């Protein structure tokens, strides 16, 4: 007998990027018929889901009518397709998916890709989001976290009504390297050959704090460094970021692009950076390390569990512009350091960040919840 599993994320990009390889592994499991749902395919997106896909519009921001519509759309989908289990990812999908699954009487498992409440957040927002997650725990059967900081935070949240487990994160190193080689012709013209090349793969949204990177490129230009930077991603801040780029006269050396060939793009870069205020375990940095690229990133929850300072990359305090500038300049001036960090980063990914182990945890929990459900029915 095959059980029907619905994987839900807020944005289509999450289905075809951060969940893509995991969906491919799940799709091969003999006990599960796996489908995915998220908001509609975004314009210009060439990547396709690894499993059968159902579009369900889920607003990223709080939209009362839109959120209610998303809940009822998921209820209709779960009942029509007779799903036995729902696994939600990302904050808003976790909200509407928990309610829809509870109403339909199917188990709901949620994976946090970084908690919605986190250090540095305004106190009011922190308390509101924490309260929401506590309430949602009444509608869920299990929570997974990608990093230990989030796991410990939830462990100290005693009002939660469902168990919390640590899942971690991972990438398939072989697939990342194969993609980097196979698709290199599609990205070779993005960078020129006569510069230091910086790549940043991130959704264009406030939590990624990409202004730090723009100001770093401005600093490097002022120092006469022959540098180019590419930010690869989509999101609501694109226009605002491009305005800032043009205002600082950086448009010739810093550009925002979309490409489905992320691994090939990373492979063309000399270093990969991330400026987020928080992460789960950042996939773009895992992929960079899998390709032996040195990384510079903010020392925040999730990222600092992946990147070991001075061993597999350089960590700088969040929103410390001077130290971020200095870290990139240090890599530019020290080829031996770039090589050492790249080699160590690759070794860390191979040894510690395995996707197959994560899928094993998921399957174990799926089977447990389905068994509990059948016992309750009997």
Residue 192 has pLDDT above 90, yes or no: no
What structural domains does the chain harbor?
3-170+354-373 (3.40.50.2000), 173-352 (3.40.50.2000)
- If you average pLDDT over residues 119-147, what whole number do you get? 96
- If you average pLDDT over residues 161-175, what whole number do you get? 95
Q: What does pLDDT average to over the chain? A: 95
Q: How confident is the model at residue 193 (pLDDT cuts 50, 70, 90)?
A: confident
DSSP string, 194-250: SSEEEEEE--SSGGG-THHHHHHHHHHHHTT--EEEEEE---TTHHHHHHHHHHTT-
17 contacts: CB under 8 Å, gap ≥ 6: 47, 262, 283
How much of the chain exceeds pLDDT 70, in percent?
A: 99
CB 311 within 8 A of CB 368: no
Residue 156 has pLDDT above 80, yes or no: yes
pLDDT at 374: 66
The tens digit of pLDDT for each residue in 23-39 reads: 999 999 999 999 999 99
- If you average pLDDT over residues 141-170, what whole number do you get? 96
Residue 375 has pLDDT above 80, yes or no: no
Is the pTM value of this prediction over 0.85? yes
- If you average pLDDT over residues 116-125, what whole number do you get? 93
The tens digit of pLDDT for each residue in 303-341 reads: 999 999 999 999 999 999 999 999 999 999 999 999 999
């Amino acid at each position: 007998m095959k059980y029907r599993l619905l994987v839900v994320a807020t944005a289509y990009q999450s289905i075809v990027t951060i969940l893509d390889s995991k969906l491919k592994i799940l799709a091969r499991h003999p006990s599960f018929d796996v489908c995915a749902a998220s908001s509609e395919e975004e314009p210009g997106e060439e990547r396709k889901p690894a499993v059968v896909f159902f579009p369900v519009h889920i607003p990223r921001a709080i939209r009362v009518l839109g959120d209610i519509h998303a809940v009822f759309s998921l209820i209709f989908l779960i009942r029509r397709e007779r799903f036995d289990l729902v696994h939600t990812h990302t904050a808003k999908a976790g909200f509407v998916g928990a309610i829809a699954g509870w109403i339909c009487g199917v188990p709901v498992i949620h994976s946090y890709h970084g908690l919605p409440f986190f250090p540095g957040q305004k106190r009011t927002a922190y308390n509101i989001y924490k309260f929401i997650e506590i309430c949602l725990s009444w509608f869920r059967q299990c929570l997974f976290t990608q990093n230990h900081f989030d796991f410990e935070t939830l462990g100290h949240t005693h009002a939660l009504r469902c168990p919390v487990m640590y899942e971690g994160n991972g990438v398939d190193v072989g697939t990342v390297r194969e993609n980097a080689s196979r698709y290199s012709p599609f990205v070779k013209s993005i960078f020129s050959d006569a510069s230091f090349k910086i790549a940043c793969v991130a959704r264009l949204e406030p939590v990624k704090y990409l202004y730090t990177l723009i100001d770093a490129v401005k600093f490097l230009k002022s120092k006469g460094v022959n540098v180019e930077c590419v930010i690869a991603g989509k999101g609501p801040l694109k226009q605002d970021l491009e305005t800032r780029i043009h205002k600082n006269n950086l448009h010739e050396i810093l550009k925002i692009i979309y490409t489905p060939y992320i691994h090939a793009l990373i492979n063309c870069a000399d270093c990969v950076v991330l400026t987020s205020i928080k992460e789960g375990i950042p996939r773009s940095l895992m992929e960079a390390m899998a390709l032996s690229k040195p990384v510079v990133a903010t020392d925040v929850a999730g990222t600092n569990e992946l990147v070991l300072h001075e061993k597999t990359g350089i960590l700088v305090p969040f929103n410390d512009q001077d130290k971020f500038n200095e870290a990139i300049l240090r890599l530019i001036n020290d080829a031996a350091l770039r090589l050492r960090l790249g080699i160590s980063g690759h070794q860390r990914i191979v040894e510690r960040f395995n996707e197959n182990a994560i899928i094993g945890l998921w399957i174990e929990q799926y089977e447990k919840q389905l068994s509990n459900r059948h016992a309750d029915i009997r």
